[in-house]
Structure 1
Amino acid sequence: MSCPPTSFIGWVGHDKSSAKGNLRWESFVPKTWTEEDVDIAIECCGVCGSDIHTLRSGWAPADYPVIVGHEIVGRAVRVGRKAAGGIKVGDRVGVGAQSSACLTAECEDCSNGDEHHCENEGNCNTYDMRYPDGSKATGGYAEHTRVPSHFAFKIPEAISSIEAAPMLCAGITVYAPLVENNAGPGIRVGIVGVGGLGHFGLLWAKALGCTSITAISRTTAKKDDCLKMGATAFIATDEEEDWSTKYAKTVDLIVCTVSSHKMPLNDYLKLLRLRGTFIMVGVPEDSLPAIDLGTLTDRRAKIGGSTVGSRQQIREMLDLAVEKGVHPWINMYPMKDANKALIEFEEGKPRYRFVLKN
């Protein structure tokens, strides 16, 4: 068997300015090969807000040089002898925001199927982290990537690569809190923010059969789109007076996708019915607004947070997409235009998810 390649080529960020469209197309060193790994020739990779936060060191100092992108779909071109999941050379596979975990029986999270919460050695995001041997995790703004096979998922033939890619981060980020909080018939759902994450929230809520789906945005600019995606009601918080009073106690579950410290958080909480739940999936670079405990206690409400989902949830999500014919709204860019995509992403142009295509 031939030796694995020692370098790939892709878009590399060297400092904070890379978030402003200053990535460089050049070679980089992938993680050290093991026989549990798979090399993937990338067909496409979604552009995620996490990419921007990381490139500009918004959440924490990035480990430059960094290759972002964690919504990856492509063909397996090299598969280790100990690879998991029955992956074979030529299979179409996808990789989301997590590329490894310790996966040991001693780990409570991994043994319970919550490997996405593993904090032991071996846990690694798909980029801007290091594996136990010190080699760097690299993402999908590239021609190839190398990841542990446990976190490479076979993509159902009924889902196109372009549509599957953003499901692997944006899609699962909102799918997981919906299903974990019993979204479905009899449940009234609210989705705050109609962007890349929020539009998935509307699509999944419809696919899950929720009784009502309220889209919550600042203006009515996206109202027609939301209704096409499955929303049954729409709230424009900057344009409607006393909206939190008008729509009080109308939803059981809110999934909030925005990441601004200026959000009217306490007004959102007023929308909850008794014993309602508010789940935060947007992650601001600064703190959230102060919470009015009176509103919280009066509603007997619960506030929580969520990140990506488990491997099993990702498989279930893909199956639901096939069963219900879920089609995310995509703007496609050639991989060569990654810098342009970053700039236009920051300008708020996605309707509603950018995907780079090799």
Structure 2
Amino acid sequence: MKTIGYAAHSATSELVPFIFERRELRGNDVAMEILYCGVCHSDLHTVRNDWGGTIYPAVPGHEIVGRVTAVGPDVTRYKVGDPVAVGCLVDSCGHCDQCRHEEEQFCRNGRTDTYNAPDRVTGANNYGGYSKHLVVREEFALRMPEGLDLAKAAPLLCAGITTYSPLRTWNVGPGSRVGIVGLGGLGHMGVKLAAALGAHVTVLSRDADKAQDAHALGANAFLLSTDEDAMAKAANGFDLIIDTVPVAHDLNPYIPLLDIDGTLCLVGQLGPVPEPNTAPLVLERRRIAGSLIGGIAETQEMLDFCGRNNILPDVEMIRMDEIDAAFERMERSDVRYRFVIDMASLPAPATT
């Protein structure tokens, strides 16, 4: 299938229209027309090769919502016309212990990411959701809940599951005391999801102007992380803190905020951070942990939870040709809180 997307051809080039071929349907494949695609910091990091290993041309995008246009002969879960979604994963080995435990993101034999990763069968580089069409194994296509606004839902497929998974891992519910560090694309979803689970939610930020937004999103409290007195008074006050900051930063101010057996979970920054002081970890049995998206079953659980509670990201819709400007704004944190690309804006229809 010939289709069109937007691709970067180097770490310094703008994204431009790119014609390419999607694979022919295998027996258990679903073909979908992409209607909306969220814009994630990971897209920007990949395009600019910040993490190394980017294969060009690179078509980013792993927050994908669309409709089924065709199915392979062995597909049983979907039919043409169904609304479906695809997140950060499009394949895994299916038989290792992690895959059997529905934790495909930790596949022992290597998960297959939605873009900038080799297809498990052909070895060809995958292209992501900044495009008109996608072909994916039916096991990695997710059913969109009835009534959930498709135009706003795309960021749930990364920002949503990235914050939902640690909330579920650490059994957050009524009575839980949850802190969310940072109020961007991930952070604002963490607030909404934690509040819906019944937790007492506090937003931690260096920006006092975020307090009003934090409360509007459902937070119970706001803690200015540069206020040493307020931080001292908040000591031992949290069971779980989800740190969504996407750049290197000092973790030490947050560790004393944890109660005994409390956890600081990192979901934003990948790479080195300033050295943590281990004394408050050892003396109060606190933990620093990390979390990576979620498995397919947990992602479907998250979508269904959002459907029942009408939880959606706050988004700004853009055209496909506005992506470079959106990247620049995202670097300045000038978005509330997630960009979503309307794929109807692509310059030409695909041809087959």
Query: What band does the TM-score fall into relative to the shorter chain?
Result: over 0.9
Q: What is the alpha-carbon root mean square deviation over aligned residues?
A: 1.4
Q: Match of 2:293, SS?
A: coil
Moved over 6 A (4+): none
Does residue 131 in structure 1 map to residue 119 in structure 2? yes
Higher mean C-alpha deviation, range 189-198 or range 36-45: 36-45
Question: Deviation of residue 49 (structure 1)?
Answer: 0.5
102, 105, 127: which one aligns with 2:93: 102
Question: Deviation of residue 68 (structure 1)?
Answer: 0.2
CA distance in 1, matches of 2:324, 2:143: 29
Show structure 2 runs of 5+ residues with no match. 344-352
Does residue 42 in structure 1 map to residue 28 in structure 2? no
266, 277, 284: which one aligns with 1:280: 266
CA distance in 2, matches of 1:254, 1:80: 43
Question: Deviation of residue 257 (structure 1)?
Answer: 0.6
How big is each residue's C-alpha offset from its partner over 1:7-49, in whole Å with a ceiling of 9 and x where there is no partner? 210101111114xxx0011202334542222221111000000
Does residue 357 in structure 1 map to residue 342 in structure 2? yes
Higher mean C-alpha deviation, range 324-333 or range 25-34: 25-34
Percent identical: 39
Q: Match of 2:219, SS?
A: coil
89, 96, 109: which one aligns with 1:120: 109
CA distance in 2, matches of 1:237, 1:186: 23
Does residue 89 in structure 1 map to residue 76 in structure 2? no
Give runs of aligned pairs for residues 321-340 of structure 1, distance below 5 A: 321-340=306-325
Does residue 268 in structure 1 map to residue 260 in structure 2? no
Tell me the TM-score normalised to structure 1 length.
Answer: 0.92
176, 180, 183: which one aligns with 1:191: 180
Q: Match of 1:141, SS?
A: coil
User: 8 Å contact 2:146–2:307 — kept in the other structure?
Assistant: no
Question: Deviation of residue 173 (structure 1)?
Answer: 0.3
Does residue 8 in structure 1 map to residue 6 in structure 2? no
Give runs of aligned pairs for residues 186-225 of structure 1, distance below 5 A: 186-210=175-199, 212-225=200-213
Does residue 235 in structure 1 map to residue 223 in structure 2? yes
How big is each residue's C-alpha offset from its partner over 1:105-132, in whole Å with a ceiling of 9 and x where there is no partner? xx101111112210316x3000000012
User: 8 Å contact 1:131–1:137 — kept in the other structure?
Assistant: yes
User: 8 Å contact 1:45–1:355 — kept in the other structure?
Assistant: yes
Tell me the TM-score normalised to structure 2 length.
Answer: 0.94
User: 8 Å contact 1:253–1:277 — kept in the other structure?
Assistant: yes
56, 59, 67: which one aligns with 2:59: 67
User: 8 Å contact 1:31–1:137 — kept in the other structure?
Assistant: no
297, 309, 318: which one aligns with 2:282: 297
Show structure 1 runs of 5+ residues with no match. none
User: 8 Å contact 1:266–1:295 — kept in the other structure?
Assistant: no
Q: Which residue identity does 1:256 align to in structure 2?
A: D
Question: Deviation of residue 307 (structure 1)?
Answer: 0.7
CA distance in 2, matches of 1:243, 1:24: 48
CA distance in 2, matches of 1:110, 1:201: 26
